[in-house]
Amino acid sequence: MSRPQLHVTVVRHGETNSNLKRILQGHINTTLNKAGREQSELASHRLRKMKFDHIYTSDLSRAKKTAEIIAKNHPDVPLTEDIRLRERDIGRLSGLSIYKALDLIKEEESTWGDYGESDEDFKAQVVDFFNDMIANHLPRNDSVIQSPNGKDSLKNKPGMMKRNPHVLIVTHGGTINKLVKEHLIMDLGFFVNNYLSMKHKAKNSSITKFVVRRINKPSSVTADDDDATSVISSNTAENESDSGSEKAISTQRNIERKIRIEGDVTLWSCVSHLSLQGKRTHGDSQIDDYVH
């Protein structure tokens, strides 16, 4: 029998007027514009037949509203807001156009990392969310697979259809890049089905998918991986601990006991639900890398 696995679908929020005007948002609580609501409705239609066990969303309005639109087709699925899914706080750059922000950085002889929260702290909170999701939703290799009604079913129980759990995350472009490109691919070595697609950032209302599996624990390992809370790589943790920040130090402590996992990024930033309707989105230009 194949190992149980966790399926994860990640959706970037729909368009805002700030996206349209190339304005940096960060933690500013911007709302979806008309195009963003249409994009979210199209994403919702595309995902309508998916069987989700839980929906997690950033608490910022642009992501929360996108999640609520998608959740209308899944009325019985729990929806949880989580501040760890927020975009990176960029401090004084928030609310500035990308052009004014670049001028300010040049004028002050600084870098992007000098504004708002550090990149290390931002990554630490994204990884912390991922760890909790794995702990709560990834089945043990010897466990039963959740049935569609969310209750545990016994192996080979007659008349009970079994499936792997499936989680939906609705969040921001920077958060998606940090989770998928940096943590899953660079830190954990997840296999990527189509590397060419990764040259683009996550577009508005785009859909990204990955699967997670436990690695069978070698007999020499004695720690109980069910008690583990972190899957971040040792190299990354060491780099983060050098920053001396509270979040980074906490991450360093957590990697002492790891859930051993592997997985695949099966889809990246797909917006076919928009192209079929002739709708536009953002995410193809170099400047869009900064406008989340």
What value, to the nearest 5°, has the Cα angle with vertex 233 and ends 230 and 238? 100
Q: Which domain holds residue 170?
A: 5-290
| Sequence-ordered strand ranges (E) for the chain | 5-12, 54-57, 79-81, 166-171, 191-192, 207-214, 261-270
| Cβ neighbour number for residue 174 with a 10 Å cutoff | 24
Residue 261 reports pLDDT greater than 50: yes
Residue 205 tokens, joined: 């209302």
| pLDDT (average), residues 75-89 | 98
Strand order in the sheet with 54-57: 79-81, 54-57, 166-171, 5-12, 207-214, 261-270, 191-192
| pLDDT (average), residues 105-132 | 96
SS3 68: helix
Q: Which is more confidently placed, 211 or 152?
A: 211
pLDDT in tens, 21-34: 999 999 999 999 99
Size of the chain, expressed as the number of residues it contains:
292
Bridge partners (DSSP) of residue 8 are: 167, 210
What confidence tier does 18 reach under pLDDT thresholds 50, 70, 90? very high
DSSP state letters, 230-288: B---HHHHHHHHTT--HHHHHHHHHTTSB--EEEEEEEEEE-HHHHTTT---S-SSSGG
pLDDT in tens, 166-188: 999 999 999 999 999 999 999 99
Where is average pLDDT lowest: 132-146, 187-201, 202-216? 132-146
DSSP secondary structure code for residue 166 in this structure:
E
pLDDT for position 173? 97
Backbone angles phi, psi at 71, to 5 degrees: -65, -20
Q: Which is more confidently placed, 90 or 152?
A: 90
Number of domains comprising the chain: 1
Q: Which is more confidently placed, 69 or 228?
A: 69
Pick out the residues of the known binding site for substrate: 12-19, 62
Rounded to two decimals, the pTM is: 0.80
Active site residue 87: yes
Of 38, 41, 87, 120, catalytic: 87
pLDDT for position 153? 41
β-pair type (79-81, 191-192): unpaired
Q: Rounded distance, CA 208 to CA 10, Å?
A: 5
- Tokens 């066990």 found at: 53
The b-or-e profile of 220-239 (16+ CB within 10 A means b, else e) is eeeeebeebbbbbbeebbee
Residue 99 reports pLDDT greater than 80: yes
Q: What CATH number corresponds to the domain at position 170? A: 3.40.50.1240
188: CB partners within 8 A, 6+ apart: 231, 233, 261, 262, 263
| Closest by Cα among 188, 208, 205 to 260 | 188
Of 7, 13, 166, 183, catalytic: 13
β-pair type (166-171, 5-12): parallel
Pick out the residues of the known binding site: 12-19, 62
Q: Which is more confidently placed, 252 or 50?
A: 50
Q: Rounded distance, CA 211 to CA 266, Å?
A: 7
Mean model confidence pLDDT for the chain: 82
Residue 80 reports pLDDT greater than 90: yes
